[in-house]
Amino acid sequence: MSSMPMRTRIFAAALRRVSTPVEEAKDFAKLRADRRKLQTSAIGRRVFGSLDKGAEVEEITWGKDRRALVYRPKNSIAPLPCVVNFHGGGWVQGNPEQSGWLASRVAVRNNVVVISPAYRLAPEDRFPAGVEDARDAVEWVAKNADDLGITPERIAVMGDSAGGNLAAVVSLLARDSGGPQIRAQVLIYPGVEMYDKWPSEFRNAEAPVLTSRNMNAFARLYLGEQYGTEDFRASPIRAESHANLPKTFILTAELDPLLDNGAHYRDALVAAGVPVRYAEYKGAIHGFMSLPGVSPPAKQALEDVVDFLAQAL
């Protein structure tokens, strides 16, 4: 891992000392609370980044009792395009707030509304609960376009890690059910395969933030008794067809066990005739787009996402 920036190395060493690996966790509510406490601490704000000063943020309730954060450029004039963004966390932890640095900047720089919905988490709510919430969130956004001040024909989905998995699955489901129309998908180090191990997982088995053992634990916690299912809603790379999906930007990190997940999904989409942009960020670790304070490649990746969405929307 010689290409890892020094500030990333320091962060990784500190994280190992203070965090509980998911495979050792017993109290998942506490695991999530500890994560949120870190995010809101003085150190956490430096690590996870601050919101763009040009954005205004509102918390709303969608569906029955789900919440979402809505980011808009200040003084914007509706209707605007919309990006529905799904947070990462292995379908077990995480929250919409952790994507604030990215979501607020995409909102301001692309002059769009970014909606980051919460979704049910495992092991309390196992697969396909997260998928159902992600699909329902996009459908709800499209149906409530007027109230949200968005253009329903100009919706993109975005997500990182487990959120990238959900974004990819939602695009497949929308294609198969005839809507809502999704113009583009941004998949940030997505997990697209639950079982097969590819070389990057062996090469980066003990990487910061996400290890091979973590990956196995997340998959088992998420799938529960359905572990072993070949349902494409769990592993979108296993879909019968990837044709007619929206134009796609896949971002991967050099030092991430999930690197090959993104590369293989790129290959599947390209083979199906989908327009794909792909980028691998040198020296980057898993989760780097939520860690701008300690991972320098995040800034270039942000510029690339903004550029892609400007063309796609």
Q: Which residue, among 139, 29, 46, 50, has the nearest Cα to 95 in the 3D structure?
A: 29
Note the pLDDT tens digit of each residue in 77-95: 999 999 999 999 999 999 9
Q: Is the pLDDT of residue 15 over 80?
A: yes
Residue 169's pLDDT is 99
Cα–Cα distance between 32 and 297 in angstroms, integer? Answer: 26
Question: Which positions are catalytic?
Answer: 161, 256, 286
Cα–Cα distance between 305 and 302 in angstroms, integer? Answer: 5
- Percentage of residues in the chain having pLDDT higher than 70: 99
Q: 134, 68 in Cβ contact below 8 A?
A: no
Residue 18's pLDDT is 84
Note the pLDDT tens digit of each residue in 235-245: 999 999 999 99
Q: 308, 230 in Cβ contact below 8 A?
A: no
Q: Is the pLDDT of residue 307 over 80?
A: yes
* Average pLDDT of span 114-141: 98
Confidence of residue 19 (pLDDT cuts 50, 70, 90): confident
Q: Is the backbone peptide bond immediately before 123 cis, with ω within 30 degrees of 0?
A: yes
Contacts of 19 (CB under 8 A, 6+ apart): none
Note the pLDDT tens digit of each residue in 275-285: 999 999 999 99
Note the pLDDT tens digit of each residue in 263-306: 999 999 999 999 999 999 999 999 999 999 999 999 999 999 99
Q: Is the pLDDT of residue 64 over 90?
A: no
Residue 252's pLDDT is 98
Q: 14, 47 in Cβ contact below 8 A?
A: no
pTM for this predicted structure? 0.97
Note the pLDDT tens digit of each residue in 180-221: 999 999 999 999 999 999 999 999 999 999 999 999 999 999
All domains in the chain, ordered by first residue: 6-312 (3.40.50.1820)
Q: Is the pLDDT of residue 1 over 60?
A: no
Across the chain, where does the E strand assignment appear? 55-62, 66-73, 80-86, 113-117, 150-160, 184-188, 247-255, 276-285
